[in-house]
Amino acid sequence: MTFRPKFITFDCHGTMINFDMAGAATDHYSQILSAEAMAKFITDFATYRIDEVLGAWKPYAEVVYNALERACKRNNLAFDPAIAEDIYNRVPTWGPHADVPAGLAKVAHEIPLVALTNSMNVQIPHNIEKLGAPIAHVFTAEDAQAYKPQMRAFEYMFDQLGCGPEDILHVSSSFRYDLMTAHDLGITNKVWVNRGHEPANPFYGYTEITDVSGLAKVVGL
């Protein structure tokens, strides 16, 4: 039987929005790093961003600043705070992956869509307005005072929606930020959008789609 959730909840950056931290870092460092070293730097920058969001909440500008500073130290590069500021300021300018607007439109008229995002309140409206489909609710890490993958971010969303794990379908391209925590919280209905960010991990129990256009079929639309 097809599961029809009360809400479809989404990771925003990476899943719906083309979150191009790698491109931003490449713009600044590719002239001084080899291709191999650049790939390592991008991986380190991403890994440090995960580490930075695991503690007490802090503004996302600090997450980017600290992660970039740590990546530079690890790769023996001079750290320039202006580069961290530029990368942070690019976040609201990024738009959706090409498949997202039409894919969301297929389901938005039947099921309320919700964004649960590791973002700031001043940033996210600029990303959401580019999606081309109505998002009924947007909950940020700033609202929750916690970043994913912390459970508190999801629990804040449940409280605001007045629902539980059994009521939602959660959609993400990331296991580490979303789907692992969703599993631990008892969200049994999950969709992994395979954008090549991470390898498959069937242990966590999900339906795999290659892009958001496949979501309508998952919910029987």
Rounded distance between C-alpha atoms, residue 11 and residue 16, angstroms: 7
List the 137-140 sheet strands across, edge first: 137-140, 113-117, 7-11, 168-172, 190-193, 207-209
Q: Which residues contact 176 (CB under 8 A, 6 or more apart)?
A: 50, 149, 198
Rounded distance between C-alpha atoms, residue 188 and residue 15, angstroms: 19
pLDDT tens string for the chain (221 positions)? 478 999 999 999 999 999 999 999 999 999 999 999 999 999 999 999 999 999 999 999 999 999 999 999 999 999 999 999 999 999 999 999 999 999 999 999 999 999 999 999 999 999 999 999 999 999 999 999 999 999 999 999 999 999 999 999 999 999 999 999 999 999 999 999 999 989 999 999 999 999 999 999 999 99
pTM: predicted TM-score of the whole model, two decimal places: 0.95
User: What six digits make up the tokens of 8?
Assistant: 């479809």
